[in-house]
């Protein structure tokens, strides 16, 4: 069999609609579905912690603050993955951390989408002056190195009050991330909209007199919406990792256990051979982002093989 | 060509303006007044006022030739960033930091690019086989481990436990030895993402008809990959590679912080810790400039690899 | 209260001694060309390779130093280095305990007029500034009395924005007027230093007369503070703002290289007048070998090196490798160094490593803002919080049990320390009592207590865990608390603007006089002054004013103890711990007697080069 | 090996190529047999998607994989069975013995290399010539394929040329090593009519000069009529009829062929309207049982057996094969 043959990829099967297609070929990828399951688990866990806190169920994760053993007790039957300096169960902290990390990543993603998508659509559809402005804004933002930008935002947002609400811990974190990371999706949507703008269905819509809002939001956006999903799935990972870095720089959540904070603690602990807290947090992040990465790829391949988001 | 470059340079003006506006708004408006803190403890109000005057914090913000923004702008354009909190000239700090930072980031950069590009070709070569799948899995796994964990474990095992490298920057060792471990970590951590990216690029290229033609000529796969595919894949590669260069000058926040490498990344972390806006905004501004410039370079490179692109 | 320096807890923790480290400076510089890639090459021109029998002290600084201009320094690290370059009029005796001031640049102790208002100080002849470009033919000129006057005026100059002004605020006749005058000048340079200040006169080149507005017994200790060290006007004019990196002093060492973020190198100053090692000390010094060098000329060392290493761990490793002369014991290596009985472990003994411990004149506390509506009026609440904190546990978790609990606010090292203070039981850990008090507190507050806020001056892991610890303790007795982690600037700002509820802080005295600590409760010194608690108690103030003008004496100490008890009773702060420094040094590092207040001691240190080379062999045999 | 003599250069026997996709097996080529004589042009006609191109690719052994695979049959070329050859052997045949030109020249040429470079590459590869000689040959080839000012053009990039020129380049590249067999896969579909004839004429000239055989793949019976000595009609991955061109055009036997011819506008014949074949091409995944044409065939619609039994290609007259159970009984 010639190598050439190994390389050419057979075209994806012609399907009825983009989404049906995607769903079909997704369902056929067993691995992707497993990953989806893992992701769902994490989200359920986070949601569960929220509920538990809301109804004040006295179950594991939200009892992370309780003393479960000696300080720095190594993994044992009592504490499966040991305890931290205050003898708190690392397992509980890790579980609870899911809530923080996912909240951060989720809110950040939603913010960036909420900003990026409409801006991109408007810019792409109207072009002209509005476009100029929006492009100017995002090229300015993107010409500042990303990490620097996040830090700058996080630093200034910290402990400020916004609409009477104090930006503590994670709020500042996800605001900073969200406000800085909408550029990518904005650029993407803008490009797509420009492409679709002159497609027949849009012209048709115009021809039977839709107003612009309707055209953008009812006709254009649905046709580029899959990009949002893909972008979201891949960006989510980046945000979870960003939380870690911010906590390391002392800009993260300090009150409650977050994965970032746990890994950060390891800086002191490792030298006394306390590895479990770090390992636990790392593993937690690892499996979530592994799942997200694989699933994100699968999603992209099935929805839009040509797309290359990095 | 020249006309193009000129027009692009003109285009950078609004960007630079935007960046300056951004830093100004972030640090001078939102950031808040820092004179109290510069004054040190037990400072009397009069001292504080003096400081406000010294740093021009008592001037109007906008709408005046001598407004804070105007000065912010002026200083930036004249690369006069004033003095940092510890009364050292910001520009000196930056000059000093750039060497170590590059010593760290440049090897990482070339390491990652060279390794991942060539590996991506190999992987493309064996596409569909177990090796390909293995490679992809390893990449994604590597991407999923937090950067911090890479550093911590690397420092713990390779330096503390097995003593293969200095644990921390110590001036009595050569810079090369000092950055060895950070570089190693940096490359390992960066490899996954890049290899995966370049692999996608290669495979996308290989779907093109000209590849079929090349095979129809009876060329060896190696030749097809290295001659025909690689050059076509250059565009995305260049985009990624060249646009990464400005960040080299920023150094690596985490690595430098952990290994105490006195570079710009470290400088940033410190500046953030002490809210040294003078340093932060100077760095932001400079890196933005670099970024813009290298975008231009990227475009020029395009025209070099791809005859279809002309810069007229 | 003048010299208390608020230092972040870990910072002081490190400060307990200067880390020290061997360093043959090889800072490779990097040449990169982006296109072609990179070449690591080159070797810093200033790289000074150590000659075999050259005596070099290897220190470590655990933070970057800010500047070397004594007139405007407040951070300990700058002071450590500057103290080897600059000299004030007086210094603490190296060996004598209790601590005692002796002349340095002064010929003898000052003649004090009976009204305690006029100090006449004779200055040593033949003291020369270090050679520097700023002088004509770049030879250091002789020190004159006017140099002291200049240095003091300079601190008063508002354009110079000295952080030390508060020390002299409203003390010396005419100096405040001079400050007023400088306000109308446009810049630092425009200020005319030749303007007369009645309080500072120099009848001749070697006599300095200081006149005070009111009695100020601490003046001598002030004159022993590096802030008052003479600076040459030539240097100030020549270097302008860059004076911070061009120190020109009279001390035994002069600056050779300063790479801000990696190392500082001082070399013996050829123009140093010469001084002698003290020939008497406290009992036991002779046995400890502190008098071996009695009467010999100092400094011994040819060079002093500080490597800046901000992480604890690497400094420790360098110490073990013999590249550092001395170090504190990092928290995480404590078990490796000390056995349960507080003895060195065999491993350490095998390395011929010696342990020195000494009380550090510092106290740490959880402070309350007495102007806070909730806390200020509610004494039971405050004492409840104090009782709720398990200090032993805190010290165990965070300091390996090596620091003493602070039963009061005056550190044990102070002459005015109250031996019975423990029995008063203010620092007891008593949750039950705390809960009772809380009931009272709620009555006073009239309803449920709101969530209280604790501010911590840092976002590092250390502070986060510290904050969590306090939170856990207070939650345990049913108090709702919220911890706020902020960077030092924000923290200081909030404290100074009194917009804070509880805050963790600590301070370290720079003189044996406990007034440093008591002043923090004097109502006239409210924030942004030293009294961050905004504590106010007329009785206390009265006593304070009384003590303020007294010369050091048992009566004064009695007064201090009385004041201490008043404070403890009102409980404007829950005092947590003092500190004991645990210092390790190699046996080649001679004359290393810890000192709580003096910094300029490098001149006394000596290296036994034979032993040091022997250590390298020893390491091989151990490995 | 018997096939290799009596002037046959390539003979395909019962070739079957399948694609194994997630949806199922696509039988792109089923049991296809034909043979090409030296120096002659053999046409393969059929609607798009009927398997012509896959047949060609199978001969070149360039079937897209891992999905695509030659599952059966032999391809004898110069007495060697291509599917059995090692990749190395095959590589020496590609471009040297058998060359191929593709439908879309603009995408089939590498955009980032000069055309000269791309042609010289083949020459140097198969004729072991120095760059200089190779370049000279290249320019010569360009002139042969009728490119004005070849020396300069050789330094140009594909995007600087018109579609027709690009196709000439492709041809130059293909014939530069004087292959014995040239596979032209819809060589003119992407070009406008005027250019089409030029290109086809060019092919004829080259054929005469080099005496090479051509496998001409097209859906255009007009071209077949003018250019090909023999023709095979493919429908739904099978060959339904093989004959010399004139006879096939004169009296098409297979209903599909007849349909095809009817749907052609013919000069001289004035009909009210062109007839079309009712129904449409079956999806490769869901081929009908029996004769794949029966849903569209007037007979097949009613004949039960057509709907159940798949007819095989049989020689009904000398040199003429048809796959229809209603022919020759």
Structure token pair of residue A243: 């939380």
Q: Is residue B280 part of a domain?
A: yes
Which residue is listed with tokens 């009728």?
D146
Omega within 30 of 0 (cis) for the link into A209: no
Question: Torsions phi, psi of A216, nearest 5?
Answer: -65, -50
pLDDT at B260: 82
- Give the CA dihedral A199, A204, A207, A212, nearest 10 degrees: -70
- Determine the 3-state secondary structure of C111 from DSSP: strand
Mutate to test the interface with D, among B126, B129, B204, B210 (most CBs of D within 10 A): B210
C17 vs C568: CA distance, rounded Å: 30
Q: What is the mean pLDDT of residues B11-26?
A: 85
Tell whether B217 is within 8 A of chain D (Cβ). Answer: yes
C411 vs C422: CA distance, rounded Å: 12
**DSSP strand E in C132-193: where?**
none
Give the CB-side neighbour count of residue D291, counting CA atoms within 13 A. Answer: 27
C375 vs A133: CA distance, rounded Å: 52
Structure token pair of residue B147: 């950067």
Taking only the tens place, the pLDDT of each residue in C384-439 is 999 999 999 999 888 888 899 999 999 998 989 999 999 988 999 999 999 999 99
Which residue is listed with tokens 């497609």?
A199
- Determine the 3-state secondary structure of C8 from DSSP: coil
A289 vs C58: CA distance, rounded Å: 47
B299 vs C320: CA distance, rounded Å: 54
Q: Do residues C49 and C24 touch, judged by C-beta distance below 8 A?
A: yes
DSSP C385-414: HHHH--HHHHHHHHHTT-S-B-SSSS-TTS
| Number of folded domains that form chain B | 1
Structure token pair of residue D250: 């004169």
Which residues on adjacent β-strands are paired with residue C356?
A: C583
pLDDT at D182: 93
Structure token pair of residue A100: 């923080």
Whether the full predicted model's pTM is greater than 0.90, yes or no, is no
State how far residue D82 is from chain B, nearest Cα, in angstroms: 14
User: Per mean pLDDT, which of A174-183, C293-302, D300-309 is the most reliable?
Assistant: C293-302
**CATH number of residue B207's parent domain:** 1.10.3720.10
Q: Is residue B38 part of a domain?
A: no
A24 vs C583: CA distance, rounded Å: 70
Q: Is residue B81 part of a domain?
A: no
- Cβ–Cβ pairs < 8 A, chains A and B: 151
pLDDT at A18: 64
Structure token pair of residue C39: 């070449």
- Cβ neighbours of C497 in B, within 8 Å: 36
- Contact yes or no for C28 and B174 at CB 8 A: yes
pLDDT at D275: 66
Q: Give the β-pairing of C200-201 and D41-45.
A: unpaired
Give the confidence band of C45 by pLDDT, cuts at 50, 70, 90.
very low
- Cβ neighbours of D125 in B, within 8 Å: 217-219
Q: What is the mean pLDDT of residues C575-597?
A: 92
Nearest CA in chain A to D24: A13
CB atoms within 10 A of CB A205: 17
ipTM over cut 0.85: no
pLDDT at A307: 53
pLDDT at A12: 41
Give the confidence band of C331 by pLDDT, cuts at 50, 70, 90.
confident
User: Per mean pLDDT, which of B295-309, C324-338, C373-387, D294-308 is the most reliable?
Assistant: C373-387
Alpha helices per DSSP H over chain A: 3-7, 18-28, 30-55, 90-126, 128-143, 146-157, 169-180, 183-197, 200-207, 212-214, 221-248, 259-269, 276-303
Q: Which of A204, A238, A251 is nearest to A223 (CA)?
A: A204
**DSSP strand E in C419-510: where?**
452-456, 481-485, 502-508
pLDDT at C405: 94
- Contact yes or no for B210 and D93 at CB 8 A: no
Which residue is listed with tokens 């993603």?
A109
Q: Is residue B21 part of a domain?
A: no
Taking only the tens place, the pLDDT of each residue in B257-304 is 888 888 898 888 888 777 788 888 888 888 888 888 888 888 888 877
pLDDT at D263: 76
Domain of B269, in residue numbers: 90-305
A209 vs D62: CA distance, rounded Å: 51
C470 vs C458: CA distance, rounded Å: 15
B21 vs B32: CA distance, rounded Å: 16
Q: Give the β-pairing of C589-590 and C326-328.
A: unpaired
C159 vs C167: CA distance, rounded Å: 17
C361 vs C359: CA distance, rounded Å: 6
Measure CA of the first residue to CA of the last residue in chain C; give whole Å: 52
**Which one of B88, B102, B275 has the shortest CB-CB distance to C30?**
B102
State how far residue C249 is from chain B, nearest Cα, in angstroms: 20
pLDDT at C378: 92
Q: Is residue B143 part of a domain?
A: yes
Length of chain C: 623
Taking only the tens place, the pLDDT of each residue in B79-136 is 888 888 777 888 988 988 888 899 999 999 999 999 998 888 888 777 767 888 888 8
Q: Which chains are adjacent to chain D, needing at least 3 Cβ pairs under 8 Å? A: A, B
Q: Is residue B14 part of a domain?
A: no
Tell whether B207 is within 8 A of chain D (Cβ). Answer: no
User: Per mean pLDDT, which of A254-263, A294-303, C92-101, C162-171 is the most reliable?
Assistant: C92-101
Which residue is listed with tokens 């405050």?
C382
Q: Which residues contact C471 (CB under 8 A, 6 or more apart)?
A: C454, C481, C483
A8 vs B229: CA distance, rounded Å: 13
Q: Do residues A112 and A178 touch, judged by C-beta distance below 8 A?
A: yes
- Residues of chain A short of pLDDT 70, as ranges, are 1-19, 21-22, 25, 28, 159, 164-169, 304-310
- Cβ neighbours of A21 in D, within 8 Å: none
Which residue is listed with tokens 């990009």?
A227
Element housing C69 (H / E): none
Q: Is residue B104 part of a domain?
A: yes
- Contact yes or no for C465 and A65 at CB 8 A: no
Q: Is the dihedral of CA B11, B16, B22, B28 positive or negative?
A: negative
Q: How many helices (H) and strands (E) does chain D have?
A: 13, 12
B98 vs B116: CA distance, rounded Å: 26
Q: Do residues B160 and A270 touch, judged by C-beta distance below 8 A?
A: yes
A168 vs A176: CA distance, rounded Å: 12
CB atoms within 10 A of CB A72: 18
Task: Give the CA distances from residue D28 to residues D18, D50, D283, D287, D323, in Å, rounded to whole numbers and listed in that order.
Answer: 5, 7, 11, 11, 17
Tell whether B18 is within 8 A of chain C (Cβ). Answer: no
Task: Give the CA distances from residue A16 to residues A12, B213, B247, D24, D37, in Å, rounded to whole numbers and listed in that order.
Answer: 12, 33, 45, 17, 45
Give the confidence band of B171 by pLDDT, cuts at 50, 70, 90.
low
| Domains of chain C: residue spans and CATH | 66-235 (3.90.76.10), 359-580 (3.10.105.10)
C-alpha C576 chain-centroid distance: 19
Q: Which of C126-140, C320-334, D1-15, D191-205 has the lowest mean pLDDT?
A: D1-15
Question: Torsions phi, psi of C88, nearest 5?
Answer: -85, -175
| Burial class (CB within 10 angstroms; exposed 0-12, middle 13-18, buried 19+) of C138 | exposed
Q: Is residue B215 part of a domain?
A: yes
Measure CA of the first residue to CA of the last residue in chain B; give whole Å: 6
Structure token pair of residue B259: 């290994």
**Which one of C26, C30, C263 has the shortest CB-CB distance to B103?**
C30
Instruction: Please state whether at least 3 CB pairs lie below 8 Å between chains C and D.
Output: no
Nearest CA in chain C to B84: C66
- Cβ neighbours of B34 in C, within 8 Å: 489
CA D192, D193, D196 angle in degrees (round to 5)?
A: 90
- Cβ neighbours of A6 in B, within 8 Å: 127-129
D154 vs D119: CA distance, rounded Å: 9
Nearest CA in chain B to D58: B216
Mutate to test the interface with C, among A73, A86, A173, A252 (most CBs of C within 10 A): A86
Q: What is the mean pLDDT of chain C?
A: 86
Nearest CA in chain B to A146: B247
Give the confidence band of C606 by pLDDT, cuts at 50, 70, 90.
very high
Tell whether B163 is within 8 A of chain A (Cβ). Answer: no
C-alpha A184 chain-centroid distance: 13
Q: Do residues C494 and C423 touch, judged by C-beta distance below 8 A?
A: no
Give the confidence band of B40 by pLDDT, cuts at 50, 70, 90.
low
Tell whether C314 is within 8 A of chain B (Cβ). Answer: yes
| Burial class (CB within 10 angstroms; exposed 0-12, middle 13-18, buried 19+) of B259 | buried
Q: Do residues B170 and C307 touch, judged by C-beta distance below 8 A?
A: yes
Q: What is the mean pLDDT of chain D?
A: 85
Q: Do residues B103 and B256 touch, judged by C-beta distance below 8 A?
A: no
Question: Torsions phi, psi of D258, nearest 5?
Answer: -60, -45
Tell whether D65 is within 8 A of chain A (Cβ). Answer: yes
CA diameter of chain C: 78
Residue D72: pLDDT above 50?
A: yes
Task: Give the CA distances from residue C545 to residues C6, C511, C512, C557, in Å, rounded to whole numbers and listed in that order.
Answer: 23, 19, 19, 14
Q: Do residues C533 and C572 touch, judged by C-beta distance below 8 A?
A: yes
| Burial class (CB within 10 angstroms; exposed 0-12, middle 13-18, buried 19+) of D71 | middle
Q: Do residues C528 and B41 touch, judged by C-beta distance below 8 A?
A: yes
C516 vs B226: CA distance, rounded Å: 75
Q: What is the mean pLDDT of residues B12-30?
A: 82
Which residue would you say has higher pLDDT here, C74 or C514?
C514
């Amino acid at each position: 069999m010639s190598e050439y043959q190994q390389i050419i990829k057979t075209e994806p099967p012609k399907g009825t609609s983009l989404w049906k297609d995607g769903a079909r070929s997704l369902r056929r990828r067993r691995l992707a579905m497993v990953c989806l399951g893992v992701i769902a688990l994490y989200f359920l866990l986070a949601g569960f912690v929220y509920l538990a806190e809301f109804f004040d169920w006295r179950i594991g994760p939200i009892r992370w603050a309780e003393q479960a053993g000696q300080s720095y007790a190594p993994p044992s039957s009592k504490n499966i993955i040991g305890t931290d300096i205050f003898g708190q169960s690392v397992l509980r902290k890790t579980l609870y951390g899911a809530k923080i990390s996912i909240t951060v990543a989720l809110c950040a993603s939603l913010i960036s989408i909420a900003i990026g998508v409409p801006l991109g659509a408007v810019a792409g559809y109207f072009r002209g002056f509005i476009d100029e402005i929006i492009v100017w804004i995002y090229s300015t933002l993107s010409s500042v190195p990303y990490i620097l930008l996040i830090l700058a935002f996080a630093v200034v947002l910290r402990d400020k009050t916004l609409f009477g609400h104090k930006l503590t811990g994670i709020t500042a974190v996800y605001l900073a991330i969200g406000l800085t990371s909408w550029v990518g999706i904005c650029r993407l949507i803008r490009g797509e909209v420009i492409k679709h703008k002159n497609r027949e269905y849009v012209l048709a819509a115009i021809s039977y007199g839709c107003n612009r809002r309707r055209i953008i939001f009812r006709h254009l956006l649905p046709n580029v919406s899959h990009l949002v999903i893909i972008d979201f799935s891949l960006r989510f990972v980046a945000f979870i990792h960003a939380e870690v870095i911010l906590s390391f720089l002392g800009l993260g959540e300090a009150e409650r256990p977050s994965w970032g904070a746990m890994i950060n603690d390891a800086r002191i602990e490792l030298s006394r051979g306390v590895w479990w807290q770090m390992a636990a947090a790392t593993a937690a992040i690892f499996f979530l982002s592994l799942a997200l990465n694989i699933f994100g790829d699968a999603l992209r391949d099935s929805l839009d093989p040509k797309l290359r988001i990095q | 060509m020249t006309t193009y470059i000129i027009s692009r340079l003109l285009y950078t003006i609004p960007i630079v303006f935007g960046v300056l506006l951004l830093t100004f708004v972030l640090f001078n408006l939102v950031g808040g007044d820092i004179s109290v803190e510069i004054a040190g403890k037990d400072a009397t109000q009069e001292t504080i006022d003096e400081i406000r005057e010294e740093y021009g914090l008592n001037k109007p913000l906008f709408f005046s030739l001598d407004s804070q923004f105007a000065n912010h702008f002026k200083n930036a354009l004249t690369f006069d960033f004033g003095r940092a909190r510890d009364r050292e000239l910001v520009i000196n700090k930056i000059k000093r930091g750039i060497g170590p930072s590059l010593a760290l980031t440049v090897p990482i950069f070339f390491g990652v690019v060279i390794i991942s590009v060539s590996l991506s070709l190999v992987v493309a070569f064996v596409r569909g086989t177990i090796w390909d799948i293995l490679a992809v899995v390893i990449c994604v796994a590597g991407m999923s481990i937090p950067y911090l964990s890479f550093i911590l474990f690397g420092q713990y095992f390779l330096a503390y436990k097995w003593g293969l490298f200095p644990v921390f920057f110590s001036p009595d060792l050569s810079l090369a030895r000092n950055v060895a471990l950070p570089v190693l970590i940096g490359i390992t951590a960066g490899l996954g993402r890049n290899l995966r990216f370049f692999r996608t690029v290669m495979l996308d290229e290989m779907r093109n008809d000209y590849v079929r033609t090349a095979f129809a000529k009876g060329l060896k796969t190696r030749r097809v990959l290295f001659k025909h595919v690689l050059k076509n894949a250059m565009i995305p590669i260049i985009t990624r590679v060249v646009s990464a260069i400005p960040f080299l000058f920023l150094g690596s926040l985490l690595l430098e912080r952990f290994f105490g490498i006195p570079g710009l990344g470290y400088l940033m972390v410190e500046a953030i810790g002490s809210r040294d806006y003078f340093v932060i905004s100077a760095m932001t501004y400079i890196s933005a400039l670099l970024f813009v410039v290298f975008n231009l370079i990227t475009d020029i490179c395009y025209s070099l690899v791809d005859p279809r692109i002309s810069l007229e | 209260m003048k010299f208390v320096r608020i230092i972040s807890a870990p910072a002081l923790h490190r400060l307990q001694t200067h880390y020290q480290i061997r360093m043959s400076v090889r800072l490779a510089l990097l040449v990169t060309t982006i296109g072609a890639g990179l070449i690591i090459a080159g070797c810093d021109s200033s790289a000074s390779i150590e000659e075999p029998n050259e005596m070099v002290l290897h220190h470590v600084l655990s933070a970057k130093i800010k500047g070397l201009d004594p007139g405007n320094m407040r951070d300990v690290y700058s002071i450590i280095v500057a103290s080897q370059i600059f000299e004030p009029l007086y210094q603490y005796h190296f060996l004598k305990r209790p601590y005692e001031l002796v002349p340095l640049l002064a010929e003898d102790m000052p003649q004090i007029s009976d009204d305690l208002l006029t100090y006449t100080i004779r200055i040593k002849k033949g003291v020369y500034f270090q050679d520097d470009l700023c002088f004509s033919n770049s030879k250091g000129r002789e020190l004159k009395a006017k140099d002291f006057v200049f240095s003091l005026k300079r601190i008063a100059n508002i354009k110079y924005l000295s952080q030390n002004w508060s020390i002299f605020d409203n003390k010396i006749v005419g100096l405040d007027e001079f400050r007023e005058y400088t306000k109308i000048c446009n810049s630092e340079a425009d200020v005319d230093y030749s303007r007369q200040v009645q309080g500072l006169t120099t009848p001749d080149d070697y006599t300095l007369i200081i006149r005070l507005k009111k009695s100020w017994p601490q003046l001598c200790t002030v004159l022993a503070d590096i802030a008052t060290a003479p600076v040459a006007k030539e240097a100030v004019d020549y270097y302008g703002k860059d004076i911070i990196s061009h120190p020109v002093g009279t001390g035994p060492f002069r600056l050779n290289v300063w790479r801000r973020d990696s190392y500082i190198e001082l070399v013996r100053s050829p123009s140093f007048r010469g001084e002698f090692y003290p020939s008497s000390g406290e009992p036991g010094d002779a046995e400890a070998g502190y008098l071996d060098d009695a009467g010999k000329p100092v400094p011994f060392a040819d060079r002093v090196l500080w490597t800046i290493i901000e992480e604890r761990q690497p400094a420790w490793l360098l110490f073990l490798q013999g590249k550092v002369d001395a170090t504190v014991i990092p928290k995480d290596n404590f078990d490796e160094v000390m056995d349960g009985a507080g003895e060195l472990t065999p491993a350490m003994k095998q390395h011929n490593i010696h342990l020195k411990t000494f009380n550090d004149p510092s106290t740490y506390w959880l402070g309350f803002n007495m102007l806070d509506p909730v806390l200020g009026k509610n004494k039971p609440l405050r004492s409840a919080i104090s009782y709720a904190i398990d200090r032993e546990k805190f010290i165990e978790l965070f300091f390996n049990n090596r620091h003493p609990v602070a039963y009061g606010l005056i550190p044990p090292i102070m002459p005015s320390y109250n031996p019975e203070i423990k029995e008063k039981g203010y620092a007891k850990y008593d949750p039950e009592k705390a809960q009772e008090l809380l009931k009272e507190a709620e009555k006073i507050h009239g309803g449920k207590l709101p969530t209280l806020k604790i501010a911590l001056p840092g976002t590092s892991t250390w502070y986060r865990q510290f904050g969590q610890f306090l939170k856990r303790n207070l939650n345990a007795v049913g108090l709702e608390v919220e911890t706020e982690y902020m960077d030092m600037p924000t923290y200081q700002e909030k404290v100074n603007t009194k917009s804070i509820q509880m805050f963790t802080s600590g301070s370290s005295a720079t003189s044996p006089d406990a007034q440093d600590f008591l002043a923090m409760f004097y109502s006239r010194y409210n924030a942004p002054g030293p009294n961050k608690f905004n504590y106010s108690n007329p009785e206390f103030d009265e006593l304070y004013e009384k003590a303020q003008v007294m010369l050091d004496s048992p009566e004064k100490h009695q007064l201090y103890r009385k004041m201490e008890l008043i404070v403890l009773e009102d409980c404007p702060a829950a005092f947590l711990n003092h500190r004991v420094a645990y210092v390790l040094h190699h046996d080649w590092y001679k004359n290393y007697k810890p000192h709580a207040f003096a910094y300029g001691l490098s001149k006394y240190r000596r290296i036994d080069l034979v032993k040091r080379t022997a250590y390298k062999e020893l390491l091989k045999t151990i490995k | 090996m018997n096939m290799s003599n009596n002037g046959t250069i390539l003979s395909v026997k019962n070739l079957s190529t399948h694609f194994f996709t997630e949806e199922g097996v696509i039988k792109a080529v089923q049991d296809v047999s034909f043979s090409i004589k030296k120096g002659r042009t053999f046409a393969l006609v059929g609607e798009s998607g009927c398997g012509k191109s896959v047949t060609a690719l199978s001969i070149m052994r360039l079937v897209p994989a891992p999905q695509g695979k030659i599952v059966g049959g032999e391809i004898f070329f110069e007495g060697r069975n291509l599917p059995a050859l090692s990749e190395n052997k095959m590589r020496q045949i590609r471009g040297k013995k058998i060359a191929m030109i593709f439908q879309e020249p603009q995408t089939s040429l590498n955009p980032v290399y000069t055309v000269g470079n791309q042609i010289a590459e083949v020459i140097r590869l198969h004729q072991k010539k120095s760059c200089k000689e190779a370049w000279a040959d290249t320019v010569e080839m360009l002139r042969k394929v009728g490119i004005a000012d070849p020396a300069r053009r050789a330094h140009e990039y594909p995007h600087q040329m018109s579609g027709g020129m690009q196709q000439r380049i492709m041809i130059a590249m293909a014939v530069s090593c004087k292959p014995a067999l040239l596979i032209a896969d819809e060589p003119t579909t992407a070009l406008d009519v005027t250019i089409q004839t030029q290109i086809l004429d060019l092919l004829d000239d080259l054929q005469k000069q080099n005496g090479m055989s051509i496998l001409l793949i097209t859906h255009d019976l007009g071209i077949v009529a003018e250019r090909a000595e023999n023709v095979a009609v493919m429908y739904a991955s099978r060959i339904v009829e093989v004959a010399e061109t004139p006879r096939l055009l004169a009296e098409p036997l297979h209903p599909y062929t007849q349909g095809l011819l009817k749907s052609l506008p013919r000069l001289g014949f004035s009909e009210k309207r062109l007839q079309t074949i009712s129904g449409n091409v079956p999806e490769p995944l869901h081929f009908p049982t029996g004769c794949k044409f029966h849903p569209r065939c007037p007979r097949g619609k009613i004949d039960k057996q057509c709907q159940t039994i798949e007819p095989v290609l049989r020689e009904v007259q000398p040199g003429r094969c048809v796959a229809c159970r209603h022919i020759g009984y």
